[in-house]
Structure 1
């Protein structure tokens, strides 16, 4: 039996649930198209057991296989936006914090410079 990657063992519960839902949704998409496991797996270039693992929500299924399944149902266009920088809320919040800190530092430096100038004049 293959060794399970530590990252898969540490998968957050909500993420594992989302992967399971994706697999189930892909199974529904295949069934709505009245495609058999055998036919769909051939179209994807994978084995039937791999397709079954995908549809069962196995997080160890490769992203390329997931992307191919999404392509078959014309949903692969969404992949390009999943990690787009403009949607990375954590990084955006960090950028804002850094800008605020920079603004405060500059305001402090300006205030100190004014104070030094006033002392030199006085």
Structure 2
């Protein structure tokens, strides 16, 4: 029996759509490999119903199930790209701002020419 997750009811529509898109991409990858749902579910060690929930974009499916699907499909490297630092635009901007604020300006070594 599945547990009702309270957080998924409060997810923004854009996030729900992204989860549906990820599920469709997993379904497409499975079909391109000519695998049945039963085949992939068996390789993932989950039920066919759980795989169906993943493919439909159900936000209550665990991250472990997603990882198992990617591994079984040979796409496990895609998991490490999620929230990758190189794609974190906001984080990169904040890092740059922090770096600029902490940068020290030191006078040039040697004699300082104050003649303007």
TM bin (shorter chain): 0.7 to 0.9
Name whichever structure is richer in helix by fraction. Answer: 1
**1:4 matched to 2:5:** yes
Secondary structure at the aligned position of 1:34 is classed as: coil
Give 1:10 deviation, angstroms. Answer: 2.7
Q: Calculate the TM-score normalised by the size of structure 2.
A: 0.75
**Alignment-derived partner of residue 25 in structure 1:** 25
Alignment of 1:59-70 (within 5 A): 59-70=59-70
**Alignment-derived partner of residue 41 in structure 1:** 41
Cα 1:92–1:5, aligned 2, differ >3 Å: closer, same or farther?
A: same
Number of positions where the alignment pairs a residue of Structure 1 with one of Structure 2: 107
What is the alpha-carbon distance in structure 1 between the residues aligned to residue 56 and residue 10 of structure 2? 19
Larger Rg computed on CA atoms: 1
What is the alpha-carbon distance in structure 1 between the residues aligned to residue 9 and residue 81 of structure 2? 26
Q: Calculate the TM-score normalised by the size of structure 1.
A: 0.72
Structure 2: unaligned runs, 5 residues or longer: 108-116
Give 1:86 deviation, angstroms. Answer: 4.0
The CA RMSD over aligned residues, in Å, is 2.5
What is the alpha-carbon distance in structure 2 between the residues aligned to residue 46 and residue 68 of structure 1? 9
Secondary structure at the aligned position of 2:35 is classed as: coil
Alignment of 1:28-107 (within 5 A): 28-103=28-103
